[in-house]
Amino acid sequence: MPAMCVRSVGSLSCVLVASLALAACGDNHGDPDAGTGIDAAVIDAQVVDGGVDANPNMPPTIADTGLCLDAGCQQIAPDVHGYAPRWALWSDGAVKQRYIYLPPGATIDTSDMDHWKFPMGTKLWKVFTRDNIRVETRFYLKTGPADTDWYFVAYAWNEAQTEAVAAPSGQQNANGTTHDIPQRSDCRKCHDQVPGRVLGFSALQLDYDAPSTELDLKDLVSMNLLSAPPTAATGPYFPLPAATPTEIAALGYLHANCGHCHNPDSTVHQIVPQVLRLSTAPSALATLEATPTYMTTVNVAPTQSSVSAPAIVNAGDPDHSAMIIRFESTNPAIHMPAIATEVLDTTADATLRDWITHIP
Ligand code: HEC
Ligand code: HEC
């Protein structure tokens, strides 16, 4: 990436340049989608929005963000809560821990249960550990009232694991691992595809029995943190359709790993109509066959001609399902997910294949 993008980090003009001129910046740090054939302009269209990238207040180290009490982040701040989405995003085998800070007294606007809106001052973090080494901690902060008002940046851990400093331009092969830290504009290729921006701290992702050290939906209800709590008296508040564990695992995996791009609100949806994000709407959870995932993929012909298959999910036949062909492909022009992974998730591959094999 040319120096112009690296040097003037943090200034609005550079960020605009960096996001408008992704192509000119060539092989971006942490941008494994270069040359995938996906329309970068479409995915990047929202990168240049609103006040997020204009925020000059990038805390220099991870401790400065408020996550922890010490520079090495061994002590998490008392007002920060851990949580884990029940279905995780695959990050080439990295182990991840997630945290949230909510401003005291504020509630999450849950009037649209599928698209929560967070109060100003909300912070979220995700720590990535690869080969037992902390490589990065991602951070974002709600800076204003609009959906676009979020500030995203990752912090790179030093070799001694004593400090993590802001890495707005990303970093390849962080700390000697094969893990790439995304540059700031890359965060938004995924997070901007869902109106609320927050992807894993959501009704469906938290509607399960989490370990007592971690927040789940029950906790949020009992702590009065939701403006419009679910109406059911106890969890699960949004029961999943009756289905086998494999079917549920497949739906959940696609929700967490593909749904941020493949959902009705994303720019990707303007290219391909399949929907892999689940919804809390009762009609969309009534049966397996009623989920958008099932309705838009099973025995539905692909719209893209890059892969030859009769259907996105060809019932009973994973080998002739565009979803599996694209998931397993090493050709970056057709591989899915479109960005941010270099290693095939073999467990998920087995789950998706098993699911498809057993569809009558
Ligand atoms: C390939 C898509 C993708 C990219 C690129 C990406 N994220 Fe995420 N991120 C996700 C998904 C999906 C989740 C939720 C699932 C999970 O945490 O396993 C998530 C979760 C998070 C979380 C926890 C809160 C939440 O939304 O659930 C933080 C913090 C975060 N990301 C920050 C960042 C930052 C900062 C960047 C850029 C440096 C970034 N992300 C780049 C997809 C992405
Ligand atoms: C970062 C955004 C992004 C993510 C994440 C993503 N996709 Fe895609 N996907 C795209 C785009 C853009 C296209 C259209 C261009 C193309 O065909 O490559 C597409 C196309 C597809 C198609 C072709 C559909 C058709 O009608 O022909 C399939 C199948 C697909 N994706 C499956 C997946 C699966 C499965 C996942 C998760 C494992 C996933 N995608 C994750 C962006 C994404």
Which pLDDT does position 7 carry in this prediction?
A: 23
Tell me what the mean pLDDT of segment 121-136 comes to: 96
Residue (of 158, 157, 156) closest to 167 by Cα position: 156
Whether 152 and 188 have beta carbons less than 8 Å apart is answered as yes
Amino acid, single-letter form, for residue 206: L
Q: Considering only 232-236, 249-253, 344-348, which range has the smallest mean pLDDT?
A: 232-236
**156 ligand 1 Cβ < 6 A:** no
Check whether 49 has a pLDDT greater than 60: no
Angle, alpha carbons 350-87-335 (nearest 5°): 50
pLDDT over 90, % of the chain: 79
Q: Whose atoms come closest to the Cα of 35: which ligand?
A: 2
**58 ligand 1 Cβ < 6 A:** no
Tell me what the mean pLDDT of segment 67-86 comes to: 97
Q: What is the pLDDT of residues 201-224, one digit of tens each?
A: 999 999 999 999 999 999 999 999
Distance 27 CA to ligand 1 centre (A): 21
Query: Quick one: which atom of ligand 2 is closest to the CA of 33?
Result: 1
- CA–CA distance from 137 to each of 98, 167, 201, 345 (Å)? 9, 10, 17, 22
Which pLDDT does position 339 carry in this prediction?
A: 86
Q: Whose atoms come closest to the Cα of 137: which ligand?
A: 1
pLDDT band at 55 (very low <50, low <70, confident <90, very high): low
Residue (of 269, 270, 191, 204) closest to 241 by Cα position: 204
Residue 161 falls in which region: left (phi positive, over 0), alpha (psi -120 to 50) or beta: left
Check whether 12 has a pLDDT greater than 50: no
Ligand 2 mutation target, pool 258, 324, 353, 355, most atoms within 8 A of CB? 258
**DSSP, res 160:** T
Which pLDDT does position 340 carry in this prediction?
A: 82
Which pLDDT does position 23 carry in this prediction?
A: 28
Tell me what the mean pLDDT of segment 332-359 comes to: 94
**331 ligand 2 Cβ < 6 A:** no
pLDDT over 70, % of the chain: 84
pLDDT band at 8 (very low <50, low <70, confident <90, very high): very low
For residue 136, list its beta bridge partners: 128, 156
Distance 301 CA to ligand 1 centre (A): 30
Which pLDDT does position 161 carry in this prediction?
A: 96
Q: Considering only 27-41, 227-241, 309-323, which range has the smallest mean pLDDT?
A: 27-41
Query: Quick one: which atom of ligand 2 is closest to the CA of 37?
Result: 18
- If one compares 43 and 177, the residue with the highest pLDDT of the two is 177
Which position has the token pair 């929560």? 116
**150 ligand 1 Cβ < 6 A:** no
- Report the alpha-carbon distance of residue 169 to residue 186 in Å, rounded: 10
Check whether 343 has a pLDDT greater than 70: yes
For the entire predicted model, the pTM comes to 0.88
Check whether 29 has a pLDDT greater than 60: no
Amino acid, single-letter form, for residue 156: A
Query: Quick one: which atom of ligand 2 is closest to the CA of 348?
Result: 38
Which pLDDT does position 106 carry in this prediction?
A: 95
- Within the chain, residue ranges assigned H as helices are 3-7, 12-20, 40-44, 184-191, 203-206, 217-222, 245-258, 282-285, 292-297, 322-328, 346-357
Which pLDDT does position 344 carry in this prediction?
A: 95
Whether 90 and 345 have beta carbons less than 8 Å apart is answered as yes
Q: Atom 2 of ligand 2 has which residue's CA nearest to it? A: 261
- CA–CA distance from 110 to each of 72, 175, 199, 230 (Å)? 35, 39, 14, 9
Tell me what the mean pLDDT of segment 101-119 comes to: 97
Distance 152 CA to ligand 1 centre (A): 10
Q: Atom 6 of ligand 2 has which residue's CA nearest to it? A: 337
Mean pLDDT value across the chain: 86
Q: What is the pLDDT of residues 130-148, one digit of tens each?
A: 999 999 999 999 999 999 9
Query: Quick one: which atom of ligand 1 is closest to the CA of 181?
Result: 38
Q: What is the pLDDT of residues 155-191, one digit of tens each?
A: 999 999 999 999 999 999 999 999 999 999 999 999 9
Tell me what the mean pLDDT of segment 20-34 comes to: 30
